Amino acid sequence: MSLLDLLTIYFIAIIGLLYLGLVCFGPALIEIVDRLGAVEKALGVRPDERDNSSPDQQQANPNSEANNQKLA
């Protein structure tokens, strides 16, 4: 076996292991990242992206939920 053959086998094995790891652990990693985001949001470390406007901007937006509750 030449060096090129060994490198090719090594490269294919590494790609296969990366793919296997992605398939096996990908959903678990997504779940962990989602839970970390929920923890950050609950602790107030990261504000909610959907409600990061100031009170002035909320009043200026006629479709905002807070503004609709004030009008009702």
**pTM score:** 0.41
Asked whether residue 66 is assigned to any structural domain, the reply reads no
Asked whether residue 3 is assigned to any structural domain, the reply reads yes
Asked whether residue 68 is assigned to any structural domain, the reply reads no
Distances, alpha carbon 35 to alpha carbons 41, 51, 55, 62, 66, in Å: 10, 19, 29, 33, 27
Sole residue written with tokens 């793919």: 19
17-55 tens-digit pLDDT: 999 988 888 888 888 888 888 877 777 766 555 555 555
Asked whether residue 57 is assigned to any structural domain, the reply reads no
The total number of structural domains that make up the chain: 1
| Residue 6, pLDDT score | 95
Residue pair 36/44 in contact by the 8 Å Cβ criterion = no
Asked whether residue 37 is assigned to any structural domain, the reply reads yes
- Other C-beta atoms closer than 10 Å to the C-beta of 55 total 8
Asked whether residue 59 is assigned to any structural domain, the reply reads no
| Residue 51, pLDDT score | 56
Boundaries of domain holding 22: 1-46
| Residue 12, pLDDT score | 97
Asked whether residue 5 is assigned to any structural domain, the reply reads yes
Asked whether residue 64 is assigned to any structural domain, the reply reads no
